[in-house]
């Protein structure tokens, strides 16, 4: 009789433990859902700000970081959210997202940091290089490719996202490149 009583006690304790484990699991799932919803909302906002649709397989860290730079004023030699130039933007984003150190000037990023490729081979996070009216055939401007022919860069209007399809950027296109 004692043995049967102990069996029922152990069985009851097991059920209580199983119930508590299920409770914790469901609570964790609820927390995870809220976290996922928060991440989804933040990504949706970032995508809207950048003018792109962010999908599951995209480079979320890049897009979230890029969105935080939008509207930062242009400042020659700048590399902070108080003011940034084109190479300062690429240098800072690459350090934060990829833990890679780029050279400071766009021409050095073009010549020393990038393995060059054509426009059709661009992938998210690749650098995009342009000539400018003042640079002649040399690289005078750099940005970061996002997706769908959109790139982020710091120009005279501050940090903005523009299309590689625009006639302005097509006339100054030099190359794209992944960082070595």
Report pTM.
0.79
- Active-site residue among 6, 60, 103, 141? 141
Query: d(Cα 62, Cα 125) in Å, to the nearest integer?
Result: 7
List pLDDT tens digits, range 14-35. 444 443 333 333 333 333 333 3
Tokens of 160: 């903005």
List pLDDT tens digits, range 126-153. 999 999 888 778 999 999 999 999 999 9
Give the residue among 162, 161, 142, 156 at the shortest CA–CA distance from 83. 156
Task: Give the residue, 38 or 81, on which the prediction is more confident.
Answer: 81
pLDDT, residue 26, reads 36
Give the orientation angle of helix 60-69 with respect to helix 86-98, to 10 degrees. Answer: 140
- Active-site residue among 6, 27, 153, 178? 153
- Is 86 annotated in the active site? yes
Q: Determine contact, residues 98/179, Cβ cutoff 8 Å.
A: yes
What is the fold, at CATH topology level, of the domain defined by 59-179?
endopeptidase fold (from Nostoc punctiforme) (3.90.1720)
Query: d(Cα 124, Cα 59) in Å, to the nearest integer?
Result: 7
- Is 29 annotated in the active site? no
Q: Determine contact, residues 54/60, Cβ cutoff 8 Å.
A: yes
pLDDT, residue 1, reads 54
What is the residue extent of each domain of the chain?
1-50, 59-179
List pLDDT tens digits, range 161-178. 999 999 999 999 999 999
- Is 141 annotated in the active site? yes
């Amino acid at each position: 009789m004692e043995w049967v009583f102990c069996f029922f006690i152990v069985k009851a304790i097991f059920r209580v433990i199983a119930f508590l484990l299920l409770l914790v699991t469901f609570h964790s799932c609820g927390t995870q859902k809220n976290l996922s919803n928060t991440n989804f909302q933040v990504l949706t906002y970032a995508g809207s700000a950048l003018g792109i649709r962010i999908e599951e397989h995209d480079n979320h860290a890049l897009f979230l970081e890029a969105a935080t730079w939008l509207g930062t004023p242009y400042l020659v030699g700048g590399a902070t959210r108080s003011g940034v130039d084109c190479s300062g933007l690429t240098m800072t984003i690459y350090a934060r997202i990829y833990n890679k150190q780029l050279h400071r000037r766009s021409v050095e990023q073009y010549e020393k940091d990038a393995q060059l490729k054509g426009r059709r081979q661009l992938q998210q996070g690749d650098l995009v290089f342009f000539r400018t009216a003042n640079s002649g055939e040399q690289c005078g401007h750099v940005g970061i490719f996002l997706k769908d022919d959109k790139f982020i860069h710091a120009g005279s209007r501050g940090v903005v996202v523009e299309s590689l399809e625009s006639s302005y950027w097509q006339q100054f296109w030099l190359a794209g490149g992944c960082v070595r």
